């Protein structure tokens, strides 16, 4: 015989009121649709000039949307430029590898080092192509991003990284 006490198990049943959940979701969707309809301008030119006048006279309450959209647009432009630059470098790297292979001396003494150089050039070209794709993907994501904090954080990170690169170049070059 064992001296173990029986364990009491309490069963808890959670039930979801689906009708109430449906009402809450439909109300939220309807309120969002009404809000969106309220923000659609009826006359775009008239509303644009009213908005400009409100900004000039400082009557428009600041929301932070303009700053986030400005930084987001700058980041999209920078990332797209880096994507194009990376794609060109990748293409020219492959072309340069082909030209190198055609013009290289393939004698027994240097054939191995030429093969290693060609493989490294192709690998660097492929990496540049992948980075170009990543920059293009990041630009696409940032173009649809609406979160102000995320956009400002990405912008701060890019600016910090650029400052780091400039500082390293200055350190290596010996400026100052």
CA 18 to chain centre: 38
Three-state SS at 55:
helix
End-to-end CA distance of the chain: 87
Q: Residue 94: its pLDDT value, please?
A: 93
Contacts of 83 (CB under 8 A, 6+ apart): 132, 133, 135, 136, 139
- Would you mind telling me the total number of residues written for the chain in this entry? 176
- Chain segment 115-131, per-residue pLDDT in tens: 999 999 999 999 999 99
Q: Residue 32: its pLDDT value, please?
A: 57
| DSSP codes joined into one string, 99-162 | HHHHHS---TTTHHHHHHHHHHHHHHHHHHHHHHHHHHHHHHHHHH---HHHHHHHHHHHHHHH
Cα separation, 120 vs 129, whole angstroms: 14
Cα separation, 167 vs 73, whole angstroms: 26
The answer to whether 87 and 129 have CB atoms below 8 angstroms apart is yes
Cα separation, 67 vs 50, whole angstroms: 19
Instruction: Report the chain's C-alpha Rg in angstroms.
Output: 30
Query: Given CA atoms 159, 162, 168, 171 in this order, what sign does their dihedral have?
Result: negative
Residues of the chain with pLDDT under 70: 1-3, 12-14, 32-46, 175-176
Q: Residue 59: its pLDDT value, please?
A: 76
Q: Residue 80: its pLDDT value, please?
A: 95
């Amino acid at each position: 015989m064992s001296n173990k006490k029986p364990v009491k198990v309490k069963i808890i049943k959670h039930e979801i009121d689906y009708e109430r959940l449906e009402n809450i979701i439909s109300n939220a969707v309807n309120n969002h649709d009404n809000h969106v309809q309220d923000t659609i301008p009826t006359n775009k030119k008239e509303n644009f000039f009213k908005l400009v006048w409100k900004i000039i006279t400082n009557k428009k309450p600041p929301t932070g949307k303009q700053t986030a959209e400005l930084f987001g647009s700058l980041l999209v432009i920078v990332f797209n430029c880096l994507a194009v630059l990376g794609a060109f470098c990748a293409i020219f790297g492959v072309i340069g590898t082909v030209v190198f292979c055609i013009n290289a001396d393939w004698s027994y003494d240097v054939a191995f080092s030429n093969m290693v150089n060609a493989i490294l050039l192709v690998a660097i070209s492929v990496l540049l192509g992948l980075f170009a794709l990543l920059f293009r993907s990041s630009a696409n994501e940032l173009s649809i991003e609406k979160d102000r904090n995320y956009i400002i954080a990405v912008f701060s990170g890019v600016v910090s990284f650029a400052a780091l690169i400039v500082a390293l170049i200055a350190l290596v070059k010996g400026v100052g």
